[in-house]
Amino acid sequence: MEDVFSFRDKVFNVDFEDRNDTGRNILINDSESEISIHSQDENEILMTLNGERIKAYSAAEKDDYFVFINGRQYMLKKHAAGADLSGGLPGSAGGDFVSSPMPGTIIKINCSEGDEIKENDTLVIVEAMKMENMLRSPVDGKVEKISFSEGDLVDAGAPIVEIGTE
């Protein structure tokens, strides 16, 4: 069965295939590699991939997969098997709204419903971890809906200001 992962805007289709002698092959976007797993527990994997020995740490929560290799963390998203991602990744296709990239407190809303706005106008300021973050409009348009007030806590990704573009 195929797994589908994405990293940034890249999609990876993964499949395994038993080799007739020992172990398995892994197919990533149809390119085939030999893979051997030497040891594996909940969060640590020691494997050889195409002749290279790799120590990786991994963890997952729902569809979010986190893998640490050579000092760097890769945040991957798992998608439903067979998902058609040819039209782009869900959520990343610029919905015309402004949301906070991390949870925080709204300290200022610079627009009102009905305002005409320009691309890059700062619409909302969110504070998280003692830092102010300016949320700018991705497009020219008109403010259609504001779903929060100053002082509210917001989750990452929740639309704060929705923008109509006609």
Taking alpha carbons only, the member of 130, 127, 134, 123 closest to residue 162 is 123
Span interacting with another protein, options 45-53, 88-96, 115-123, 136-144, rule CB under 8 A: 45-53
Applying the rule CB under 8 A, the residues between 80 and 119 that interact with another protein are 101-105
Strands, sheet with 97-99, edge to edge from the N-terminal-most edge strand: 97-99, 159-164, 141-146, 116-117
- What's the closest the beta carbon of residue 166 comes to another protein, in angstroms? 31
Assess 3 for contact with another protein (CB under 8 A): yes
Closer by beta carbon to another protein, 116 or else 156: 156
Closer by beta carbon to another protein, 38 or else 118: 38
Tally of CA atoms within 13 A in the half-sphere of 65 that contains its CB:
15
Assess 40 for contact with another protein (CB under 8 A): yes
Give the separation between CA 55 and CA 38, rounded to whole angstroms.
10
Assess 166 for contact with another protein (CB under 8 A): no
Give the separation between CA 122 and CA 139, rounded to whole angstroms.
11
Burial class of residue 143 (count of CB atoms within 10 Å of its CB; 0-12, 13-18, 19+):
buried
Residues that bind another protein (CB under 8 A): 3, 5, 7-8, 10, 12, 14, 16, 18, 22-24, 26, 28, 33-43, 45, 47-49, 52, 54, 56-61, 65-76, 78, 101-105, 128-131, 133
